[in-house]
Chain A
């Protein structure tokens, strides 16, 4: 009994150590230098973006993939590897590049002379990334961007391969295309066709790209080791950009009925001052809902899984690990479903909004 517990405990520890988010242990946290386990920092370090890709820890030293830091500074474009910060996140290591000095504090890069820790901590969580007077514009290839590029390459590889097999094989699909074709047909027949109608063909590339990009990003986020584990779809900026793309496509494909519905709704003229603002707000709430839904679902799933793993370290006993593992397994399987479901919901709603914009009234 004891042996099993120890075994399960060490197994949980190995799994935990393999997870990139365990890097917090070696990143001294300002204000909390007592080395105690902090689940909040653990979870944040996973769901937050970072300038380096943490792979594992080896005898206290983090092994990371140094991603390039690309800054648009007052002296122009400045590029250096993120390893020059030596995993420092406290604003103490100063990096000199292009005649300027930079520090990194909690993954935000500042001009060394203008960095003010008190000002940073005083700013609201939402406001911290926008301290533009103190920091250069940051176009770094972060972990999220790296994951996004990885997913894009995978998609191009998979679908390029599938498309090639169609050139040779004119009969029933085989192999990879046999796996992908039902999904492509699902997007066409269950998402595009019923929601957009006859003009669906024009939007198929967009919907398919959205669906597979989000789905694969969701799945990649669930794999807990390098080079995966990047939390792309749980990043609100990513979902914002996706929602904005859907919004732009929607308003540019809107026909006269769509604009007529918004600008001159079918109500008495006296109600126009109320109705028109409501309709215009409605235009923006739809993509806003898209943005928040995907972000919240994926982030929530990641936080639950990480919290369950964190239980072992909060209770500081291996005895809890069977419970943790059972729940993490359950949540991971559920997240697999959520990954597909959220990609489906995002694509479905995008198709629905586009469908409303191109709908013909008779």
Chain B
């Protein structure tokens, strides 16, 4: 047994331990445990806040995605509409042009027809007057010489062919 004087060690151990307990409790354990506890709670708070922020970000992201989707759909619709409008306008224009062309062709045809009629009528008149002229000359010539008259008629007829 390593005892010198039991009363000495009992006395001093008790005093020293209680004093140590008191001093460490006041100057070390309370501040350290308090600091650790408050830091733990601040870490937990920070983690919670981060979690919340992450969730918010996710929500925002989803919102953005939705907006983008909508914008895209809208653009699509607008482009489709534009395309349709374009086709329609082209078609309309084509149709109008065709109608106009038809109309012009018809007018031209009508004009040609009437010109033709007028020309034919004039030709008829000229042929009639020529015929009358020929007939007049033939008649005049017949009066002098029958051979000559014949010859004249033939000449006349040859001339008439050239016309």
Contacts and interface: CB of A to CB of B under 8 A. Distances in A.
A156 interface: yes
A48 B24 CA distance: 29
A108 B1 CA distance: 13
A156 B21 CA distance: 10
Contacts of A142: 4-5, 8-9
Interface string A147-186: 0110010011001101100110011000001001100110
Contacts of B27: 156, 159-160, 163
Contacts of A88: none
B2 interface: yes
Query: Main SS of the interface on chain A?
Result: helix
Interface stretch (B11-19, B121-129, B147-155): B11-19
B32 A108 contact: no
A162 B16 contact: no
B96 to A, nearest CB: 81
A241 B13 contact: yes
Given A138-B4, A156-B20, A242-B17, A145 B9 contact: yes
Contacts of B16: 145, 148-149, 152
A347 interface: no
Given A49-B3, A166-B31, A235-B2, A159 B24 contact: yes
Given A142-B9, A205-B29, A238-B9, A213 B20 contact: yes
Interface stretch (A125-133, A265-273, A278-286, A328-336): A125-133
B36 interface: yes
Contacts of A160: 27-28
A54 interface: no
A35 to B, nearest CB: 24
Contact of B8 (A145, A156, A206): A145
A47 interface: yes
B17 A209 contact: yes
Contacts of A87: none
A162 B30 CA distance: 12
Contact of B32 (A149, A166, A236): A166
A299 B3 CA distance: 13
A8 interface: no
Nearest to A137: B7
Contacts of A148: 12-13, 16
A185 to B, nearest CB: 7
Interface residues on A, range: 35 or more
A231 interface: yes
B35 interface: yes
B7 A139 contact: yes
Query: Main SS of the interface on chain B?
Result: helix
B162 interface: no
Given A152-B16, A159-B24, A184-B36, A204 B4 contact: no
Contacts of B12: 139, 141, 145, 148
B151 to A, nearest CB: 142
B23 interface: yes
B19 A152 contact: yes
A220 to B, nearest CB: 14
Contacts of A245: 14, 17
A260 B9 CA distance: 35
Given A166-B31, A206-B21, A236 B2 contact: yes
A205 B36 contact: no
A204 B32 CA distance: 11
Pick the most buried of B12, B21, B30, B39: most chain A CB atoms within 10 A of its CB.
B12
A155 B17 contact: no
Nearest to B2: A48
Contact of A209 (B7, B9, B21): B21
Contacts of A44: 2
A129 B32 contact: no
B10 interface: yes
A163 B17 CA distance: 20
B31 A237 contact: no
A82 B123 CA distance: 170
5 residue pairs, one from A and one from B, having the closest CB atoms: A138-B5, A159-B28, A166-B35, A237-B9, A205-B25
9 contacts: A48-B4, A109-B5, A126-B1, A155-B20, A156-B27, A177-B32, A185-B36, A205-B21, A235-B9
Interface of A: 44, 47-51, 70, 107-109, 125-126, 128-130, 137-142, 144-145, 148-149, 152, 155-156, 159-160, 162-163, 166-167, 170-171, 177, 180-181, 184-185, 188, 201, 204-206, 208-209, 212-213, 231, 234-238, 240-242, 245, 299
